[in-house]
Amino acid sequence: MKVLLSWLQEFAPVDGDPAVIGDQLSALGLAVESMSVVGEGLDGIVVARVLELGPHPDADRIQIVQVDAGDGEALQICCGAFNMSVGDLVPLATLGTVMPDGMEIARRKMRGEWSNGMLCSPVEIGMGEDHDGILLLDGTLDVGRPLVEAMGLRSDVLYDLEVNPNRPDAMSVAGVARDLAACQGAPFTLPSPEVAETGGNATGRLSVEVLDPVLCGRFAARVLDEITIGPSPSWLANRLTALGMRPINSVVDVSNYVMLELGQPSHTYDLDLVAGSAFRVRRAVEGETILTLDGIERTLRAADGVVADADDTAIGIAGVMGGASTEIHDGTTSVALEMAWWDPMSIATSARRLGLRSEASARFEKGADPEVADLAMRRFAQLLGESGATLAPGMVDERGETPQREPVRVRTDRVNKMLGTDLSRDRIADLLGSIEFAPEPAGDDLDVIIPSFRPDSATEIDVIEEVARIHGYGAIERTTPRSTITGSLTQMQVDRRTVRTAMIGMGLDEVMPIPFLAPGDLSRAGLEVDGITVTNPLVAEESVMRASLRPGMLATLAYNASHRMTGLGIFEVGHVYRQPDQPQPLPDEREYLAVALAGRDAADAVGVWSALADALAVRNYGLVADDPPGLHPTRTARIEVGGAVVGHVGEVDPGVLDAFDVPERVAWFEVDLETLLGLPHGDKPYAPVSRYPSSDIDLAFEVDDDVPAAEVERHLREAAGGLLVDVALFDVFRGAPVGEGRRSLAFTLRFQADDRTLKDAEVSEVRQGCIDAVQANLPASLRG
């Protein structure tokens, strides 16, 4: 919503430095998005008449314009706009003028043709947004006069305000003025124009019937006669222009002016064209059609509201757009003026479906003031009276349902408890009264009648917000509550940090790919799951929620490789989303850790896992050869912790790497963090360090290739018993003299007792037991 300071001042004597007023508006919740001073810096701009238009010999986008700048002589200007005709009056920045943006106008050649000044667009002189065309001036202005003088401009301040959706009242100049006056302690008054009435009474000249009282809370109609369609006076056109609306003609401009000023949209019908002079407000018949003002035939739905005539033919879409059949035109003499209150939901639905959101529908759908019509009608008549129109006596005023406005009990104690203030009942009453909330004392408390222009406000807390707003958020003393609980992270949150710290410690960089995938990304990654699909994706490439971190990680490696960054080690901690096995309210969503080591092999991935297991004190885990989809079939193992599968470690399937354009081998490790961290871990019981010497023995076995080293180790551990404190695989050897299909696995075992030095005999007994156990249970033989 844009407002001019001069316009605000018509309602209240608000004053002050423009920047201070801007801060006050922001502090009232009407955030100032921009502020500009208009009507300044326009010295040197004069009214000029277009005498002749002709093409530029060397440029298509420039034309040669001859103008009269007041001396009757033709002055040549090169101009990049084409919206003017011969005879139009236009603003001319004469030579030497310094424009508001600081540019100085000088005589110069444009593609070989002299230009002796510049014709100005609205935006160049701060009189609107339009920068495509030259501002066309009121044809009655004096040619050659300075523009400011000719148009009666004065220096003014234009604020562009961001109005929250709960404040339809602030979508009017009067509404903004009301708030600002309350803030400044200035009196606010709505004008009450007295307009002479003449002619036949409206009650005898038209009829209104509200057939759907939910759709239409109020339909008020009056009649204006002696209509002449012509341009608006320049002061009115200037204000519309400043607020971003294009002047069209006297009737349309007055309608827009009243809407901007008081927030009440209106619609005008050529009364002679309304069949039976009847207005019947009803819902549309499904499939009913209407030719709207913009010349488009629209098909309506049963939910849309229409205004129909005596023949029950729709002559307008309620609150959205009028019909072409009753549109005012140059020959119109009498108009029916409609000012209505429409059900916000109905208007919102129709306007959105028809793609016809306008300044009017925006006000209706947020909730207009159902009680301002009388005033707005008189204001309309007063303004249109300037062009000779007369107001007929009488008003036809039919009502449907509007929101109930019961008084709201506002407890003084509650206000202060919510805000942390110490306001008296009477102070609260004063604050509310300043914005026309009507408070009546009720003991220590207040019963407040909420004004009709504040549909957002209906409960005690709504009124408390108004108290806070007018009192000033900044005036409320700041206090900081001491938390009455102990701040902490959950074990899961602590563990998640440990996971990241471990990954960082291993030199891995954390990545954060977006969790959207393109259809087919999951199958390209070799995965046999369906992701959850997005119903309304922005683009197809972001239409599937990831069911695995793998596609995003591989795409990250491919992106970096394509920029000559290879050999990266990366990890991600993030959510994956899957269809659940059993019906449940929400999809299966769980947190995963994934690690990709480009240019390295499965052994490195195993190293990352075992370091993580160490960091989290996960014990009792094992790796079991496995070939899950998308991973390297002969270089992958599933990770089991206490028998539960928590993830996989190995390498990515080379075919998948090709599909993702990853040029290197990729070691891979992924773990379901929620499952892993839900299993026993982190327990670090103290074991006393033995003070007795330890004994090491080395054992090397020749073992079939398909027997996992972990199996040999398991048998060694079982046979060694409690004296074993450590076992490590320190050498793997293939080739002669070891037989084909077998390899040598060499282990070091360390034995130690807590209470004595081990005797040689003891150690060799355990040693023999270990050898026997491996040889008896596995296709393995001790190497000599």
Q: What part of residues 131-170 is at the interface with other proteins (CB under 8 A)?
A: 164-167
Residue number, 109 or 564, with CB nearest to other proteins? 564
Residue number, 209 or 401, with CB nearest to other proteins? 401
Residue number, 192 or 536, with CB nearest to other proteins? 536
Residues within window 527-556 making contact with other proteins, judged by CB under 8 A:
532-538, 542, 545, 556
What whole-number distance in Å separates Cα of residue 208 and Cα of residue 750? 102
Q: Quick one: which of 331, 355, 507, 737 contacts other proteins (CB under 8 A)?
A: 507
In one letter, which amino acid is 708? P
What whole-number distance in Å separates Cα of residue 243 and Cα of residue 257? 10
User: Could you tell me if 291 and 324 are in contact, meaning their C-beta atoms sit under 8 angstroms apart?
Assistant: yes
What whole-number distance in Å separates Cα of residue 17 and Cα of residue 21? 6
Q: Quick one: which of 515, 633, 654, 682 contacts other proteins (CB under 8 A)?
A: 515
DSSP 656-693: HHHHTT--S-EEEEEEEHHHHHHSS-------PPP-S-
User: Could you tell me if 45 and 97 are in contact, meaning their C-beta atoms sit under 8 angstroms apart?
Assistant: yes
Q: How far is the CB of 245 from other proteins (least distance, A)?
A: 23
Residue number, 121 or 560, with CB nearest to other proteins? 560
Binding of residue 61 to other proteins (CB under 8 A): no
Binding of residue 461 to other proteins (CB under 8 A): yes
Binding of residue 486 to other proteins (CB under 8 A): yes
Q: How far is the CB of 478 from other proteins (least distance, A)?
A: 4
What whole-number distance in Å separates Cα of residue 758 and Cα of residue 419? 77
Site stretch for other proteins (CB under 8 A), options 7-15, 483-491, 669-677, 751-759: 483-491
- Nearest Cα residue to 574 out of 518, 513, 522, 517: 513
User: Could you tell me if 21 and 158 are in contact, meaning their C-beta atoms sit under 8 angstroms apart?
Assistant: no
User: Could you tell me if 99 and 105 are in contact, meaning their C-beta atoms sit under 8 angstroms apart?
Assistant: yes
What pairs with residue 575 in β-bridges? Answer: 591
Pairing type for strands 278-283 and 207-210 reads: parallel
State the binding string over 400-439 for other proteins (x if CB under 8 A, else -): -----------------xxxxx------------------
Tokens 């300071």 correspond to: 5
Q: Is 422 helix (H, G, I), strand (E, B) or coil?
A: coil
Q: Quick one: which of 211, 476, 603, 644 contacts other proteins (CB under 8 A)?
A: 476
Q: How many CB atoms lie within 10 A of CB 328?
A: 22
Pairing type for strands 569-578 and 588-598 reads: antiparallel
Residue number, 472 or 739, with CB nearest to other proteins? 472
Site stretch for other proteins (CB under 8 A), options 39-47, 79-87, 389-397, 501-509: 501-509
Q: Which residues contact 697 (CB under 8 A, 6 or more apart)?
A: 748, 749, 751, 763, 767
Residue number, 86 or 489, with CB nearest to other proteins? 489
Taking every pair of Cα atoms in the chain, the longest distance, rounded to a whole number of angstroms, is 130
Q: Is 640 helix (H, G, I), strand (E, B) or coil?
A: strand
Residue number, 444 or 704, with CB nearest to other proteins? 444
Residue number, 200 or 420, with CB nearest to other proteins? 420
Binding of residue 662 to other proteins (CB under 8 A): no
- Nearest Cα residue to 640 out of 743, 537, 714: 714
Residues within window 331-370 making contact with other proteins, judged by CB under 8 A:
344-345, 348, 365-366
Q: Quick one: which of 1, 274, 468, 657 contacts other proteins (CB under 8 A)?
A: 468
Residue number, 29 or 199, with CB nearest to other proteins? 29
Q: 655 φ, ψ to 5°?
A: -65, -40
User: Could you tell me if 511 and 573 are in contact, meaning their C-beta atoms sit under 8 angstroms apart?
Assistant: no
Number of shown-chain residues binding other proteins (CB under 8 A): 84
Q: How far is the CB of 214 from other proteins (least distance, A)?
A: 14
Q: Which residues contact 778 (CB under 8 A, 6 or more apart)?
A: 703, 704, 707, 711, 712, 715
Binding of residue 571 to other proteins (CB under 8 A): yes
Q: Quick one: which of 490, 684, 722, 737 contacts other proteins (CB under 8 A)?
A: 490
Site stretch for other proteins (CB under 8 A), options 214-222, 490-498, 612-620, 666-674: 490-498
State the binding string over 573-602 for other proteins (x if CB under 8 A, else -): --x-x-------xxx-x-------------
Q: How far is the CB of 485 from other proteins (least distance, A)?
A: 5
Residue number, 488 or 634, with CB nearest to other proteins? 488
Residue number, 297 or 477, with CB nearest to other proteins? 477
Please state at what angle helix 250-262 crosses helix 359-366, rounded to 10 degrees: 30
Residues within window 27-46 making contact with other proteins, judged by CB under 8 A:
27-29, 31
What pairs with residue 471 in β-bridges? Answer: none
Q: Quick one: which of 114, 473, 730, 733 contacts other proteins (CB under 8 A)?
A: 473
Residue number, 546 or 638, with CB nearest to other proteins? 546
CA-angle at 405, arms to 404 and 406, nearest 5°: 105
Q: Quick one: which of 483, 581, 688, 737 contacts other proteins (CB under 8 A)?
A: 483
Q: Quick one: which of 484, 634, 686, 736 contacts other proteins (CB under 8 A)?
A: 484
